[in-house]
Structure 1
Amino acid sequence: MKSSKNILFSSLKDLSEFFKSTDFSKAILLGIALTLPIIAGVKLDALQIGITITVGALLASPSDVSGSIRHKTTGILFATLLAMLVSLIGGYLHLSLWLLFPILGILMFAISYISIYGFRASLISFSGLFALVLSFSNVSGSGMEPYERMLLIGIGGLWYASVALLWHFIFPKAPTEYYLSKTLKLTADYLKTRGELVAETTDRTELLKKLLNLQTDLTNIHETLRDILIASRTGSGKSDYEGKRLLIFVQLVDMLELAMANPVNYTKTDAFFEKKPAQLADFQGLLFAMSSRLNVIAANISTPKRLRDNTKIEEFHKKIKNDISKYASASNETFDENLLLLKNLFKYQKEQIKKIEKIEWLLKNPAQRELSLLKKEDSRRFLTKQNYDFEVLTENFNLRSPIFKHSLRLAVMTMIGYGVGILFSVQNPYWILLTLIVIMRPTFGLTKTRSKERTIGTLIGGALAVGIVLLTQNTTVYGILAIGSLVIAFSMVQRNYKAAATFITLSVVFIYALMRPDIFNVIQYRVMDTLIGAGLATLGNLILWPAWEIQGMQKTLLETIKANRIYLEEIINFYNKKGNVPSEYKVARKKAFLEMSDLSAAFQRMTQEPKSKQKSLDKVYEITVLNHTFLSSMASLSTYILNNPTTPASKNFNKVSESIIQNLSEAEGILKEEIEQNPSENTSQENEPVSHSEDLFDATFGKSIIFSEEEKASQSEGFHSKIEEAHLVREQLKWLLTMSAKMPKLLRETQF
């Protein structure tokens, strides 16, 4: 019974979150933008004009994704322009089949190739592809001249842009609140998973995979928030609200770095906490309490006055403090490694508590004068800029480019798909093309997943449509269901594609039911066309210039290791120079997190491919986890030196740091194929890099920390701080050196 209540509560919570999401609000916006022109067309006895304007609004809508209003508006206008141009060309495509097929292939390739310019460009490209497919249908513009249809589609695009702008001015804070809330929840999940990892002593594989996925989701949302908060701020000047939200976002980025930070490796923590389970429970309880608090803040981000004082975090804070005091009293050693381990772990948790307190303080509307806002010049550096130079097109115009191969593949499969539709006298051959452009993705794994979800969703939608048609033949009901299904479908596309496909099918069936009596034939052909399109999409990705993930893994790994090296160099520079944290450091950190996220996503896609194509999967997983651990270790080192007064960097520190940088540079050289990759020479001595790095470290730093008798006798606060610093820096450097030495060896053993 309790389990049923939990499931019900979880479902209601998910439903509530869905209604608050930007996906749902955009679907409502789209529903309004699509419905009003048709209503106006009916009232003015110009239904065909109304439908064509609606099609224009539909074609403009894909590029309306979260980000700054300037980027959104630009995307919508470019999508409208492309849709107009393609619709005009499509209007003259009803020529002889000998001309139609090559022109169709060339257009499909050219429009799809635009997506080489990034995510928003891929959405504009989809609008163009969609417009081309619709030019084969009789949905709109029958009896119109192509230029008239083009102009009405343009009006539809401008209408959608106007509605989107009006919606933004009515609800300007909605995207920011939603994505900040989502970031808080994901950060809470990250802390909770960290807490579970601390206690897990047998197999951490699944938890580490979950951690990698959460990190990927977080870095993606961070990018969206940067675009919303920084791009809009640099374009429109300072705003109290945006300034505060930007500072909350800064705290959340720092929290991710803190959450990633792992002051010591798990081997040592496991050995210690095995003897002290109560202290483990307290550390874990604090992480869970912080996770819970972040969820509470996320739920009340728009109503901070509802936030009540938190007691659980303070309780665990006091417990851990007492645990450490008791342990310190019982220990007679001047240099107790376990005591330092506890103190360093506690320092990281205290910093995390400060970040949560700062977020709450910022939410409770402090006076503007109390805020220290980022300078425009500095904040701009955190935006990821897309290169729109013409050279990008020419550089990728070859079979090494996944987007080039995808565009070529899509062009061939759409020609085949349309040919199959004509050959078998399919009722609506353009449905096959529509299925192809929606399902086909540059990688096999994503295409296979979409094909499966689209097929299942269409079958479910078809079955539901049959049931509803058998229950009622009321056209008013069909009209309501068509609009309602379309709104739900668009709100579910990013969240659950299977559900989206179900509602798209329902919407299409009921739209056709309003226009023609043979609804069962419509359902039958809809299912058949989807099956043909899904089959062709999967087959195309399998046999036509397949882009297996391992082929691009070399470049992905190179970018990740390079970003890690630059981030480490910034940490070393700061430790040597001290002073204020430079913006170069934060930009390098952002880049390292993003590249790690890309590597994790690439590995996940690799696991979705056929077993025969999962070349060196175990090695790739090992390298992915190694890079994640390396980044965590760097985060530990940087977090400590940023938040604590530190002594001058020693020659030994710089000497070992240099060796780590050299190891990473060697790994980059192997991936660039500048250094000969010969696995046979390295496989015989498996532990050689590890033992060599340990010898190098011990020769440089010595086997233990040595303090003078005078320092030991002083027992001052400064002395204890020196011990903590020496211990953490030493541990992290040793750990980084070991991992960096292992990287070239693993890369030499991996067959790309």
Structure 2
Amino acid sequence: MQPKAKEIRYFFYSQAFADGLRTTISILLPSLILSYFKLLNAGLSISLGALCVSLADAPGPMIHKRNGMLFAAVFVFIITLLTSLASANVYTMGILILLSTFFFSMFNVYGVRASAVGSGAILAMILTMDKIVPKPQILSEGILILLGSMWYFLVSIAFYKIQPYRAGQRILGECIRTIATFLSIKADFYNPKTDLEKDYSKMVAQQVAVNEKQDAVREILFKTRQIVSESTATGRKLVLTFVETIDLFEDITATYYDYASLRKKYENTGVLEKISWFIKDVAFELDQMGIAIQVNSPYKQRFDFEKQLLQLKEDINETGKEEGASNLVLRKILVNVRRLVQRVLELQEYFEKGAPGKEKTTLDHSHFVTHQSLDPKIFLDNLSLQSSVFKHASRVAIASIFGYIFVNLFAYGHHSYWVLMTIVFMLKPAFSLTKQRNIERIIGTVIGGLLGIALLLFVSNKEVLFGIMVVLMILNYSLVRINYLAMVLCLTPFVLILFSLLGVSVLDVAKERILDTVLGCTIAFSAGYFLFPTWEAEHLKGYLLKMLQANKEYLNKIYEGLCGKQINLLEYKLVRKEVYVSSANVAAAFQRMLSEPKNKQRNSKVMHQFVVLNHILFSNIATVVTSLLNKTPAGHAPILIQSVKRSTVLINQTIDKVGGENSLKNERPVESIPQSMTSLTADDQLIKDQLDFIQRVIIDLDKTTTQLISSKNTE
């Protein structure tokens, strides 16, 4: 229970909770204030505007949040006027639903924030379509909703001005904590009692989470001028600490060993468990550091790592004495663990007074973020069945008009717009996410409905009920981006209490909400499966190709280092970022594929093998590259360069099989090395062993890739 209690406690310091609190205040206050002056309807309209624009207020740099909210305010205002004019006639309303759901769903071509802007406009249409507004009042109703939009915009700006660095601190703290979890999972590889297959699955899933957090931090830190300009101590610390966490993550991924043989050799010595426990302690310390940054509180180191390292060294030496067994690999692990501890301790600079030196933060960070163009040509170019966004927008539009026709044909309930809302927000571009959201929506609605009814049966005091509703409202908006099931569990009782306070029969509302949810989910699920379905297996080649090409570029950095060239730090970090992003994309695609129907999957066992081999490959490449970066540039033995060239040839052949263009052009020739030139130093021999292993992994990766691109279905 203690870890759960700790997570709940620190949830209240998260960016998600801050966003939920801000959204609740912005939506609730207008209705409360205006209801006091007997103007509840006007207050509800203003609150509606705030609600719709809040969807565009996703985490990110303030300039993007600002532009997103302003675009959302304009679209919400326009669609509100159009809906008020069209709602008097079912045919005109049907046409508006068909066109607007398609148009705003196409906003996906411009990225996540633009998609949220479109969702806000669709939500405004759905929530106003059943409201009969007399023609003379249509404009005034639209203006009230626009006022609500601008009210939310001003509240969001005000929160940012008061604490301009808090969003960056929170997301950086969360990023460090996801890396700490990754490190804790990595510690399990040294524990002979864990299942290696499960360890790899957990590690791959956590790598996806780490990549998502790192992207979120990049967006906020590197696109916020006030932070990246390094004009303040806080801004410099945030940037420097994030850069160091990326290096730390590389060190964690670079420590790869043959864990199966490692366990077999040292299983009975007890030393592997001690290594695992020590790394767990380091992960705990890193987690505490992340919490301190997230909470914006002082940090105090809990473990004496130097003392523990000395004890671990003694244990490893003792292992070497037993029966004359070699402990070279254990000593290598000790060196890596010591470097890992040093990296973690360097992060403590964040908590020191003053700003880091200018020389430590001179890297041009603009290269590490992507910039989304808003060119209308992108929209027009995607108006084709070849576009996955067009397919998704078509699904949403067809499913929405079907739902609208259904509820009108059968005179379906007093809140039939719930069916349409469920369809729109349950249909996702990926079928796996549509399936997951549908299941979570139904479970959450049923359990949440029972919870809401229970609350209303046992609590009669309206003030207490209002307080519970506010708490549920805050949790609902806090959990919307981190745990959808929990969000729905809060949303349903919140809605039931709201209707109860407005004097509506709760049992009727509960039954109608559950039925509407089931109907909407059924339509959404069917549309996702039958209407222009897009399966992950269809996109596998693209993911595999990008991953292989990223590994090739990563491998090229070894070649540069072995040839004695100075590895350009910016180029290297960009290549490293591409490897991590591509790897996370492959892993995420694999996870999504597993949620799809079995007959739509591509050989899942082989795909899992590819994901694991890919992780082993870039971990070993990282090991060699980091060792070269830590040395003065110098030419190495020709046999090492030859080994890298062979690996490059092999990976190019694999890229060529997948469909990469020009992968075999400008190929470096692989020269034969005279026997007299093959003598190696001890350090070079270690690199040679690593390069030989990389070559074997690439051969295995080639085999799995061939199986994947030639197979049709899962086994």
Structure 1 residues not aligned, in runs of 5+: 1-6, 676-695, 709-718
Query: Match of 2:496?
Result: 509
Q: Match for residue 94 of structure 1? A: 87
Does the aligned pair in 2 maintain the 1:282–1:316 contact within 8 Å? no
Q: 1:607 aligns with which of 576, 590, 594?
A: 594
- Which of 59, 64, 71 pairs up with 2:52? 59
Residue 349 of structure 1 pairs with residue 310 of structure 2: no
How many residues are paired up? 705
Superposed CA offset, 1:441-463 (max 9, x none): 11222111111111121112222
Aligned residue for 1:63, secondary structure, equals coil
Percentage of matched positions with identical amino acids:
23
Give the conservation status (yes or no) of the 8 Å contact 2:173–2:290: yes
> 1:292 — aligned with what?
284
Report the equivalent of 1:406: 392
Of residues 463, 479, 482 in structure 2, which corresponds to 1:495? 482
Q: Paired residue for 1:620, among 594, 607, 610? A: 607
Aligned mate of 1:738, from 683, 689, 699: 699
- Of 92, 96, 103, 1:110 maps to 103
For residue 665 of structure 2, what is the aligned residue in structure 1? Answer: none
Secondary structure at the counterpart of residue 65 of structure 1: coil
Alignment of 1:160-199 (within 5 A): 160-199=152-191
Q: Is the 8 A contact 1:282 1:319 kept in 2?
A: no
Are the counterparts in 2 of residues 660 and 741 from structure 1 also a CA contact under 8 Å? Answer: no
One-letter amino acid of the counterpart of residue 381, structure 1:
H
Q: Which residue of 1 aligns with 2:246?
A: 253
What CA distance in whole angstroms lies between the structure 2 residues aligned with 1:403 and 1:584? 32
- The DSSP-based 3-state class of the residue aligned with 1:432 is helix
Cα distance 1:534–1:283, how it changes in 2: closer, same or farther (>3 A)?
same
Task: Report the Cα offset of residue 226 of structure 1.
Answer: 1.1
Q: 1:371 to 1:621 in 2, by over 3 A?
A: same
The equivalences for 1:641-680 within 5 A come to: 641-645=628-632, 647-672=634-659
Report matched runs for 1:117-156 at 5 Å.
117-138=110-131, 145-156=137-148
- The answer to whether the 8 Å contact 2:430/2:534 transfers is yes
Residue 580 of structure 1 and its aligned partner are, at CA, apart by: 5.8
Task: Pick closer, same or farther for the CA change 1:565–1:286 going to 2, 3 Å.
Answer: same
Please give the alpha-carbon distance, in whole angstroms, between the structure 2 residues aligned to 1:197 and 1:463: 43
What's the counterpart of residue 349 of structure 2? Answer: 361
Question: Which amino acid in structure 2 is aligned with residue 372 of structure 1?
Answer: E
Q: Determine helix, strand or coil for the equivalent of 2:361.
A: coil
1:485 and 2:472 equivalent? yes
For residues 9-48 of structure 1, the aligned pairs below 5 Å read 9-48=2-41
Distance of 1:479 and 1:734 partners within structure 2: 65
Amino acid at match of 1:204: L
Q: Are 1:520 and 2:507 matched, yes or no?
A: yes
Which residue number corresponds to residue 204 of structure 1? Answer: 196
Distance in 2 of aligned mates of 1:291 and 1:88: 54
Q: 2:439 aligns with which of 447, 452, 458?
A: 452
TM-aligned CA distance change 1:523 to 1:279, over 3 Å: closer
Cα displacement string for residues 299-353 of structure 1 (whole angstroms, at most 9, x for unaligned residues): 3335665414631x22342234446667889999xxx9x6553443333222211
Aligned equivalents of 1:383 and 1:408: distance in 2?
A: 31
Instruction: State the Cα deviation string for residues 232-269 of structure 1 (Å, max 9, x = none).
Output: 14677322111112111111111111111145433553
TM-score (ref. length: structure 1): 0.86
Is contact 1:27–1:490 with CA below 8 Å preserved after alignment? Answer: yes
- Tell me which amino acid in the other structure corresponds to 2:11: F
C-alpha spacing 1:394/1:650, structure 2 compared with 1 (3 Å): farther
CA distance in 2, matches of 1:488, 1:33: 15
> Retained in 1: the 8 A contact 2:50–2:148?
yes
Match of 1:544 in 2: 531
8 Å CA contact 1:199, 1:284 repeated in 2 = yes
Deviation at 1:271, TM superposition (A): 4.8
| Amino acid aligned to 1:209 | S
Distance 1:731 1:673 in 2: 25
Q: Residues of 2 paired with 1:47 and 1:143: CA distance?
A: 20
**2:215, 2:172 → 1: CA distance?**
12
Equivalent AA in structure 2 for residue 52 of structure 1: S
Distance between the aligned counterparts of 1:53 and 1:380, measured in 2? 39
Contact map agreement 2:17 2:478 (CA 8 A) in 1: yes
Work out whether 1:534 is the aligned partner of 2:521. Answer: yes
CA distance in 2, matches of 1:587, 1:514: 55
2:411 maps to 1:425: yes
How far apart in 2 are the matches of 1:118 and 1:525? 35
Determine the structure 2 residue equivalent to 1:436. 423
- TM-score when normalising by structure 2: 0.91
Paired with 1:431 and 1:455, the residues of 2 have a C-alpha distance of 13
**Does the CA contact (< 8 Å) of 1:63 and 1:79 recur in 2?**
yes
Are the counterparts in 2 of residues 486 and 503 from structure 1 also a CA contact under 8 Å? yes
Report the CA distance shift for 1:327/1:725 in structure 2 as closer, same or farther (over 3 A).
Answer: farther
Three-state SS of the structure 2 residue aligned to 1:300 is: helix
Q: Distance in 2 between matches of 1:394 and 1:22?
A: 36
CA contact (8 A) 1:340 1:724 kept: no
1:79 shift after superposition: 1.6
Q: Describe the shift of the 1:735–1:342 C-alpha distance in structure 2 as closer, same or farther (beyond 3 A).
A: farther
Change in CA separation of 1:504 and 1:654 when aligned onto 2, cut-off 3 Å? same
Matched, 1:68 2:61: yes
Letter paired with 2:638: K
CA distance in structure 1 between the aligned counterparts of 2:5 and 2:111, rounded to whole angstroms? 36
Output the amino acid matched with 1:318: L
- Check 1:603–1:250 CA distance in 2 against 1; reply closer, same or farther (3 A cut): same
Q: CA deviation at 1:476?
A: 4.2
Amino acid at match of 1:549: E
- Hey, what's the Cα distance between the residues in 2 that align with 1:247 and 1:505? 43
Quick one: distance in 1 between partners of 2:320 and 2:499?
A: 77
| Alpha-carbon offset, residue 600 of structure 1 | 0.8
Secondary structure of the 1:145 match is helix
Give the whole-Å Cα distance in 2 for the aligned partners of 1:303 and 1:110: 42
Query: Which residue of 2 is the match for residue 382 of structure 1?
Result: 368
